Amino acid sequence: MSEDITLTLEEAESLSLTVLQHNGYSQAHAEAITRSVLAAQRDECHSHGLYRLIGCVSTAQNGGVDTHALPEIIDQAPSVVRVDAHRGCSLLSFEMGKKQLVEKANQTGIAALAINNCFHFSALWPEVEALSSEGLVGIAMTPTHAFVAPAGGNAPLLGTNPIAFSWPRPGETPYTFDFATSVVARGEIELHKRAGKMIPDDWAMDDKGEPTTDPAAALAGAMRTFGGYKGSALSTMIALLAGPLIGDVLGHETQAANAEKTGKPFHGELIIALSPKVFLGEHAAHHLQHAEVLFDSILGQGARLPSQRRFIAREHSLRHGVTLPKALVDELKALTH
């Protein structure tokens, strides 16, 4: 039986900051990364929580990421702000670019933030929720390592290409989703392998492009997109928008960007913000209220809203702190000296 340990949010924050700064991250990067992994831990998204700090440290040690990179903000156009992360982690770039993104969206109605040359390892929902908390609608997407075959294809080409969306709800937690366009997370296949379990035959193909139920063969082959050719088209759209449109790489090029091939994915990210207030003027509040009919109807059918479980976990963590495996906390503490 694995032992757990509960930390207050302050303790978890302090541990994260210490791990990152002790391993070379500047204070600004350490704080931005900590805000993201702490939000994930608070919402019980364990795979994007404090666990990610281990990868941040190894990426820093392997020299793949510039732990002191100062993001450069480029006011590209009335509705476009670009941030060159200069090989730093994406999170500080997002936080620094967000201010202009919000200003532009509030002025022009719709605006985009493009982040280039960044290392990316975080969930997208904290970023779109940072926008919905300002009354904007947020959409974010990014490519990742090419683990996924296009529909009808037989080899890895597309990233797991996640997309996230957050809609501001008056007086409520936002409507937020954040999902990979692969049929499942790669970690899910790794878990099956570790447990010696077969996988469903529509998750992946082996290295000859044949359907497989063997997780090891799947990891050596290619995953499928969710939803067949429609998911594949959507994944391709994400590859294009968060790749060539913003002058950054395609999914199958992300690995090469780190010469050691050990670091976190290195690529771009696109975030779009839309302002209901600009679209609707004085009628915005009425129509935002009207959107509640849709959420009420979904819940009225006994269906869930995408992030409900996360918001319940958030409530709990804000009162009682976060609970992690003791082994993880010990591993993180070992990284502080």
Contact residues: a copy of itself, CB under 8 A: 76-80, 82, 107-112, 114, 137, 149-155, 157, 165, 167, 175, 177, 179, 181, 226-234, 236-237, 239-241, 243-247, 250, 252, 272, 274, 276, 278-281, 283, 287-288, 290-291, 293-294, 297-298, 301-304, 306
User: Among 124, 151, 141, 140, which Cα is nearest to 226's?
Assistant: 151
Quickly tell me which residue has 């996640």 as its tokens: 162
Q: Compute the distance between CA of residue 182 and CA of residue 216 in angstroms, rounded to an integer.
A: 17
Q: Which is nearer to a copy of itself, 56 or 101 (CB)?
A: 101
Q: Which is nearer to a copy of itself, 23 or 93 (CB)?
A: 93
Q: Are 111 and 79 in contact (CB under 8 A)?
A: yes
Write the DSSP assignment of 61-103 as a string of letters: HTT-S-TT---EEEEEETTEEEEE-TTSBHHHHHHHHHHHHHH
Q: Compute the distance between CA of residue 66 and CA of residue 261 in angstroms, rounded to an integer.
A: 15
Active site residues: 47-48, 188
DSSP 305: P
Q: Which two tokens stand for residue 12?
A: 């978890």
CB neighbourhood size of 104 (10 A)? 23
Residue type, 164: A
Q: Are 148 and 225 in contact (CB under 8 A)?
A: yes
